[in-house]
Structure 1
Amino acid sequence: MSKTVDYYLAPQSPWTYLGHQRLVQIAKATGSKVRVMPMDLGQVFPISGGLPLGKRAPQRQAYRLVEMARFSKALSLPMNLHPKFFPVAGDPAAKLIIAVDMHHGTDAALAITGAVLAAVWHEERDIADAATLAALLSEHKLDAACLALSNTPEVQARYDSYTQSAIDAQVFGAPTYVIDGEMFWGQDRLDFVANALKS
């Protein structure tokens, strides 16, 4: 019987970018299902004790860049450590991912998630800009109507629901993977995720 991963993500998160494609590959290799669940870190952080990047101590900010460079190199995944459009609002892209999921299904939602993450961390594109999001839909041959759908109350309600679900599950950062109630925080825990899905 296949297992399901609740994939709590933030579309502007560098760690989500570094882990995304590996999660997709792990899910495929293990025959597992993925629930793509973008969340609003702006609501999660205050409850869980997290801080936005700009409010973190200088030594934490500096070490973050060291780790990002290490993982980028180790994974052979190109990454701009200081992207042109960052910090960036994640809500428009998060809601687009939800709209694509509702309209096209999980595989398309995973594809557009990967595209959004790469847009920030590799391609120097502004994911808070509607024109950028429309272009990403076109590039991945997804229905342009998903952009309008992303601005509907139905999508907002699902976004709010995912954020509350993250809070209820004790999530405090992105990416977080939850399998059978067990939480794995961070792309550097994907080996444990793979083991949990195989067991």
Structure 2
Amino acid sequence: MAHIDYFFATLSPYAYLAGTRLEDIAKRHSATLTYKPLDVIALFSRTGGTPPKDRHPNRQEYRAQDLARQAKKHGMPINLKPAHWPTNPAPSSYAIIAAQKAGGGDMGKLVHGFLRACWAEERDIAEDAVIRECLLAAGFDPKVADRGLLEGAETYSRNLDEAVDRGVFGAPFYITDGDQRFWGNDRLEDLDLHLSGRL
């Protein structure tokens, strides 16, 4: 059975634009998924990247155009300047880690719920109320976010270290059990083709 490790940040607009296509691909190929939220700004600093706010204006302007086009292409609403971006990504990441360990809900729906809250619904994903609402909407016990905070913090840190060790440099980033790496929501088709044995 195929497996995919999914490295992402709960503040990444491109992870938002991936929607739940990864989950659709995994289902189609009977692949398992492990969600690995991480601090993408720390990842940039460790792998030679530049945070969006520090990029040259040419890059920032292109990013805004590209995000708008990608959102339109996939029929997804997007606010290019969210009211709560950037915010602290750790609380939502800890909640994802706790929910994945607890089980009982829809992980894809949970992850996308946080991303949609940030990029389309003008909600602050660092707030306890928003975290509980996203957990509940995805079928998880909303109190799961209150448990295992230390473990969540440790796992969040380990995810970053693992990402660097395995060649990750941005988000979203997908790695198959054969160490094939795919960066960006625009590479999901390639991931699908790879799992089909066609690429």
The residue type paired with residue 88 of structure 1 is T
The residue type paired with residue 137 of structure 1 is L
- The answer for the alignment partner of 2:92 in structure 1 is 93
- The answer for the alignment partner of 1:164 in structure 2 is 161
Give the TM-score taking structure 2 as reference length: 0.93
Residues 25-81 of structure 1: per-residue CA shift (max 9 Å, x gap): 111111111111111113211111111111111111111010001111111111111
The residue type paired with residue 59 of structure 1 is N
- The answer for the alignment partner of 1:34 in structure 2 is 33
- The answer for the alignment partner of 2:69 in structure 1 is 70
Give the TM-score taking structure 1 as reference length: 0.93
Matched, 1:136 2:134: yes
Maintained 8 Å contact 2:5/2:33: yes
* Paired residues, number: 196
Maintained 8 Å contact 1:100/1:108: no
Deviation at 1:138, TM superposition (A): 2.6
Distance in 2 between residues matched to 1:175 and 1:12, nearest whole Å: 10
Percent identity, aligned pairs only?
34
Deviation at 1:140, TM superposition (A): 3.0
Distance in 1 between residues matched to 2:28 and 2:147, nearest whole Å: 32
Structure 1 unpaired stretches of 5+: none
The residue type paired with residue 26 of structure 1 is I
Maintained 8 Å contact 2:29/2:195: yes
The residue type paired with residue 134 of structure 1 is R
Maintained 8 Å contact 1:7/1:176: yes
- The answer for the alignment partner of 1:81 in structure 2 is 80
Deviation at 1:20, TM superposition (A): 3.3
The range that moved more, 123-132 or 139-148, is 139-148
The residue type paired with residue 11 of structure 2 is Q
Residues 129-151 of structure 1: per-residue CA shift (max 9 Å, x gap): 1121112223333212211125x
4+ runs deviating over 6 angstroms: none
The residue type paired with residue 170 of structure 1 is G
- The answer for the alignment partner of 1:178 in structure 2 is 175
RMSD: 1.4
Distance in 1 between residues matched to 2:172 and 2:141, nearest whole Å: 27
